Structure 1
């Protein structure tokens, strides 16, 4: 995996996608930025870029990943790998469905995933040092380089979706006191049911994590 560090970019996710389409890079490849000017958050919202935090995106061909991974749940898979790595370092982080990092009831980061042909492009942002007043920062003192390195090593282990899902199924219960946006509407997750492809049943409707 080639890892490239830049001081600033518009968005690691958008820049990586553009570089792939132009043939400038080939997967696997990771782009890490100290600052983003147009970071992308959930539902296409702008993710506020603050100094000292983690912003990175990586691309990987699906042939390099476990064969049982549902494309629609790639974000959950990648996010939970990061979740597990940070927990192994002592963090109390947890993953709120479908792909938001939380400490207690405060968001500290998130994941967005796009697939172009056979290549996944996944972007992650985690508050390490600073955060907006409505969110929080990671509870362990780890720098961006250390976290990216640890995550990529976890990714190289290539655990099966079945392994990841069995662990996430237990953690999903924490999400039930929250709500999620479904077709533009905020819905409670209290009575939702997590299915083995990472989707949920909510109000008799099957909903996938597609961001």
Structure 2
């Protein structure tokens, strides 16, 4: 994967999508910014880009990934790869369904994934040194570069879905104390059950991440 670093960008994901659309880059390709001024978060929210934190987006073709990954749970897969990198560095962060990074009960980051034709476009943001009000900070000292190259290395291993899901299933137990947003509504995960494909079973209905 080719990796490009920028001192500052409005949004790594929007920059990547535009470059992909114009034919300036081709997958696999990653864009990293040390500062981001107009980041994109889940449900159309903005992601506040404080300097020193991780802001990265990448594109990768579907055929470059393990074939057993359930397409609706691709964001969980990418998130768990980053969680593995963080865990190997000593962090106790965990992944709240479907793709929010938490330390204890505070959100420290998140993942947003879209698909254009057969190409996945994924953005990951994590608070390494500072956070907006009501958010948390990663519990270990690391650097943007260390996480970026650690993630690229983890992605190159082409880990299958099953071992990734086994670890995510453990994290899901913690998710039950929280709410998530489904169809723009806050929904408790207390009675949700996790399915083998990463979806949840809630009130008899199967719900996928879709972000």
TM value normalised by structure 2: 0.98
CA distance, structure 1, for counterparts of residue 206 and residue 183 of structure 2: 12
CA distance, structure 2, for counterparts of residue 54 and residue 4 of structure 1: 14
CA distance, structure 2, for counterparts of residue 44 and residue 124 of structure 1: 15
Question: Which residue of structure 1 aligns with residue 210 of structure 2?
Answer: 210
Residue 134 of structure 1 aligns to a residue whose secondary structure is coil
1:23-34, aligned counterparts within 5 Å?
Answer: 23-34=23-34
Q: Which runs of 5+ in 2 are unaligned?
A: none
Residue 163 of structure 1 aligns to a residue whose secondary structure is helix
1:104-143, aligned counterparts within 5 Å?
Answer: 104-143=104-143
CA distance, structure 1, for counterparts of residue 181 and residue 3 of structure 2: 33
CA distance, structure 2, for counterparts of residue 107 and residue 177 of structure 1: 13
Q: Which runs of 5+ in 1 are unaligned?
A: none
CA distance, structure 2, for counterparts of residue 85 and residue 55 of structure 1: 16
CA distance, structure 2, for counterparts of residue 209 and residue 141 of structure 1: 30
Question: Which residue of structure 1 aligns with residue 69 of structure 2?
Answer: 69
1:132-211, aligned counterparts within 5 Å?
Answer: 132-211=132-211
Residue 8 of structure 1 aligns to a residue whose secondary structure is coil
**C-alpha displacement of 1:204:** 2.2
1:45-56, aligned counterparts within 5 Å?
Answer: 45-56=45-56
**C-alpha displacement of 1:81:** 0.6
Residue 50 of structure 2 aligns to a residue whose secondary structure is coil
State the number of aligned residues. 211
- 2:36, 2:51 within 8 Å by CA — same for their partners in 1? no
CA distance, structure 1, for counterparts of residue 181 and residue 125 of structure 2: 19
CA distance, structure 2, for counterparts of residue 18 and residue 206 of structure 1: 34
CA distance, structure 2, for counterparts of residue 194 and residue 49 of structure 1: 32
Moved over 2 A (4+): none
CA distance, structure 1, for counterparts of residue 24 and residue 8 of structure 2: 18
Question: Which residue of structure 2 aligns with residue 18 of structure 1?
Answer: 18
**C-alpha displacement of 1:35:** 1.4
Q: Deviations over 1:4-56 (max 9, x none)?
A: 00111121111111111111100010100011121011111000110110100
**C-alpha displacement of 1:203:** 2.1
Residue 153 of structure 2 aligns to a residue whose secondary structure is helix
Residue 175 of structure 2 aligns to a residue whose secondary structure is helix
- 2:57, 2:122 within 8 Å by CA — same for their partners in 1? yes
CA distance, structure 2, for counterparts of residue 190 and residue 84 of structure 1: 25
TM value normalised by structure 1: 0.98
Across the aligned residues of Structure 1 and Structure 2, the Cα RMSD in angstroms comes to 0.8
